[in-house]
Amino acid sequence: MLSTCLSPGVFNMVCELGFEIQDNIDILNIVSKDNKVCWDTICDKVCHLSSDQRLDYAESVRQLGPLCEAVHSYFLSMPNEKYEEAFTVFFQWTNNSKLFHSALPVLKSLDGTNISLLLMKITSCLERALGDVYLMVGKECPFLLRDLLASEELATVFTTPVMNVLRIFLGSPESLNLRNILWHGFASPHEIPHKYCSVLLLMTAGLGQILQDHLSNTGASLFHRPYVAFHNAEEMQVFPELGEDVLSVSESLLEESRLVLANMVPFWKEGIAAFRQGRYADSAVLILPQLETGLRLIFTTTNNCPNRMLTAESNILYTTFDEILAKELNDSSNNNVPKTLGESAMEFLWDFLNHQDGPRVRDHLSHGEIQLSEFPKQIANDLLGFSIVLIYRHLMVDHTSKEIGVLHSLIDIIDLYKSRFHPIALLQKQVLECIDSLQKWCLLPVPPIDDMNDKKELDEEKDVSTAVNSEIVQILSLFHRQGVIGISTDDLDTWLQTEKWFSSAKELSSQKMSSLYCHRWVIEVMSILRKVTTQCLLVSTNIISISQLRYDQWINKTLRSRQRQNYRKLLSSIKVLSCGVRLILTLIVISFHNIHNIPKRTPIEYQKYLKYLKSILKYAENVSIYTNQDNNKWSEAIQLTSRIILKVRLFNEGQI
């Protein structure tokens, strides 16, 4: 069993170098009597390589060691009230003063688990706050912390020497790299010296002092970007609420699972305890790195690369979620993790961590983009629930006790899980919403036909409807002969207008679709189809709202002459528009059921198909404009519908 996940070089940097020099430094040389951070003293400890003036990270850590010790002793001896009085105002720039106010009791606890938790929260919060400062000067904030710390924009506010100090502690594989080794689950609770947390706390206050002077001198203002909010957390919840029975059993299994390294057990226990206590952000911050460590263990075992359990040296990337969840290894051979975990578990992880429309919890938390006090219980519940399933599935011995039975429902949920945030899943959801909206057309109130339509209009409507229906029947007949999924063998003349179409379309749109590792062509097609569906829903919404409004006006006899004429046009257009939109949705359903055949096309065939889809999108966009309340261009909408239906027939017959 591994005793550490830190490679020898990283272990030396983090756990040893900062203790090699034993020296007493007067705290008044670091923090003045009026609580000002003396940056000159700190910056003087930073060393450079003589050859090219690059930072000498190792020697800098060695020289800063005694200074960090002095700061740590200073905080441990400081009364809580004095700490708040001295530094409260200088933490406000972080937009998370509460976190820093509560830090001193954690430091004094000397509890490595909670100090590591504090350090993770401080580093993510600091990154977010520094990004806000960057945007006072620059336009687009760097995604990587190391690029942010090395930016000229921050140097203009805080000076280069001060930023170099931060780079010693954070953001570079050659440095202490405290943020990354904790957030990626490499460091155990006893491996991070407490004094590094203390010095980051002091430097955060010191940065606040510099920024305060900068704002005063320049008249500039600091604006904080809004936090990411999970508005639909309840809808996202996968697992039922984890009760005490599940939590207790899970705790008892921690030391029996191959997934949990012995030196990481305190993190797991504190993560479960935090969930019990309603500290949902703390629970997630503690469990996420441990989930990554557990999955890294599966990765290294199944792919026979045990050395990758350790932090890499500075010239090699760490093995993180990105590589663990990838389809292939760096040498282009297959990654065996998907086969080991199973498709459903992989889809959960991609939903939870990677998909752009999903919660992307690790990214948001580790980069300080979430207000910790508002972290949703549902997200913490799902993270812990999934982790418990993995712990159970990797037990070193079989368990048959009754207590273990409480976990079976969680396992069943993962086995049946289907993606919610992959573009295919999002398209399916959109199509279902659109179908539900279209069903409401059948319930729209309609005045007596004789009151609204003269014979000429009825004849015109019949002619257009007959022509459109003829084209649609030819298209459906072609699909039926080709054995296309979902095309009913019933009377094709009326199939699109029956309840059978609704039930068939809903059933097909609800089926589980494989979504792992889609070809980029598939993603591109999904993007277009989602835009088409969005416009179709907008058309349906327009029809419903205008129909209800005009009917109410007709009942109340408040329709003006032009509105009455438009209402006639609307009523005579509904049947054709309904068939047109339903045909488009049928094409979309057929498309995502055959989506994995797209990469089999030649590039020329694919570009032709893409052009065809874009013409359908253009149709849907135009019809949504023509049918809104400001335009009421019903004749134009019908003309467009006739044209697109003809184009669909010609394309599928291979004539264009």
pLDDT tens figures, 482-493: 776 666 666 666
Note the pLDDT tens digit of each residue in 576-622: 899 899 999 999 998 888 888 999 999 999 999 999 999 999 999 99
Alpha-carbon gap, residue 131 to 148, rounded angstroms: 7
pLDDT digits (tens, 9 = 90+) for 500-516: 888 888 988 998 888 89
- At 458 the three-state DSSP class reads helix
DSSP letter, residue 311 = P
Residue range 51-58: mean pLDDT, rounded: 86
Angle CA 20–24–28, to nearest 5: 135
Start-to-end CA distance of the chain, whole Å, equals: 64
| H or E stretch covering 481 | helix 455-481
* Beta-carbon count within 10 A of 238 CB: 18
Q: What is the DSSP secondary-structure string of 48-66?
A: B-TTT--B-HHHHHHHHHH
User: 48 φ, ψ to 5°?
Assistant: -125, 155
Those residues with Cβ within 8 angstroms of residue 348's Cβ, 6 or more apart along the chain or in another chain: 238, 386, 414, 417
Fill in the amino acid letter for 363: D
Q: Give the start-end residues of each E strand in 484-545.
A: none
Give residue 435's pLDDT. Answer: 94
pLDDT tens by residue, 404-460: 888 888 999 999 999 999 999 999 999 999 999 999 998 888 887 655 555 555 555
Q: What is the pLDDT of residues 517-574, one digit of tens each?
A: 999 999 999 999 999 999 999 999 999 999 999 999 888 988 888 888 888 888 888 8
Give the closest residue to 290 by CA, choosing from 407, 188, 371: 188
Q: Sorting pLDDT into bands at 50, 70 and 90, what band is 218?
A: very high
